[in-house]
Amino acid sequence: MSVRCERPDAHPHVALVTLDRPERANALDLDTLRELAAIWRRIADADDVRCAVLTGSGDRNFCSGMDMRSTIPVSQRLARGERLEEHEFEALRSVSVALLAGFDLQTPLVCAVNGHARAGGLDLMLASELRYAVPGATFALEEVALGLYPTGNATVLLPRQVGWAHAFDLLLTARPIDAERAAAIGLVNAVVEPEALLPTALAAADAIAAAAPLAVKATRSGVRELLSEPLENAYRRQEELGKPLRRTEDAREAQRAFVEKRPPKFRGA
């Protein structure tokens, strides 16, 4: 298996996903694309997973993007109208889900960026809500240097996350930026030492998982929806999203816990 999905005992309601091809810079080959897409689908359907954490194996690379030796020949054969094996066709169909490009995970995602995040690796990170990186991490979108259009998340999500000028610096120059610069422009939340990376990401995931599940899900989806709405519509829509939550059992439990001076016990109801 080139992707591992674990449910750590010490972190209830958290799924830890690890890209596990360190010998190939955790690049996404055909098998990895299929496996990663399947994992994301399972997490999206799992009611007991309240947050996911994504990281890479090893200490050099988070994800270097597509494994060109594996994906390019198959893509070229498809373009020529040649017959593909079923597993090859399924891998190509899995690209958008694997990259979370247009596929809604339905669950907050925290990235623990343990090294270089390039091309599709950066696309994956852009789909997450929180990101932490080690000092040696770098970030780059190299498609224009290869004569390609960035068709993952970069042209859709990056300008909404870091602003026009910073987005175009990454998109048009193909030059990498370091972790310090990524933090300065808001591409990552913080830069932490390697030994603290996964604990930091898991602590954030635990905090999300400890909150009221229905409220977390509604807030996550609401922010994504309202980004493109005019202000007047956004204010009206946020009231529509928030109103049902006030009648949930979790909201009543939060009120009881406050009065009784104890931590709330949320059930997602």
Residue 127 lies in a domain: yes
Tokens of 40: 């994301």
36 and 48 in a single domain? The answer is yes
Which CATH number do you get for residue 236?
Answer: 1.10.12
- 73 within some domain: yes
Domain identity same for 119 and 106:
yes
Domain at 41, CATH number: 3.90.226.10
Residue 265 lies in a domain: no
Question: Do 246 and 134 have their domain in common?
Answer: no
pLDDT of 206 > 90? The answer is yes
pTM of the model: 0.88
Residues 253 and 132 in one domain: no
Q: Tell me the per-residue pLDDT of 65-121, one tens digit each, with 9 for 90 and over.
A: 988 888 777 777 767 777 777 787 677 888 899 999 989 999 999 999 999 999 999
Does 266 map to a domain?
no
* Structural domain harbouring 223: 211-260
pLDDT value of position 167: 96
Q: Within a domain: residue 267? A: no
| End position of a domain, from candidates 170, 191, 209 | 209
In this structure, the answer to whether residues 34 and 149 fall within a common structural domain is yes
Q: What is the pLDDT of residue 252?
A: 81
Is 186 part of any domain? yes
Domains held by the chain: number: 2
**Is residue 268 assigned to a domain?**
no
Among 3-7, 43-47, 74-78, 176-180, the minimum mean pLDDT is found in: 74-78
Q: How far apart are CA 260 and CA 263, in angstroms?
A: 9
pLDDT above 90 coverage of the chain, percent:
65
Average pLDDT for 177-186:
97
**pLDDT at residue 229 is higher than 90:** no
Determine, yes or no, domain membership for 22.
yes
Q: Which residue has the higher pLDDT, 132 or 93?
A: 132
Do 242 and 201 share a structural domain? no
Residues annotated as part of the active site: 143
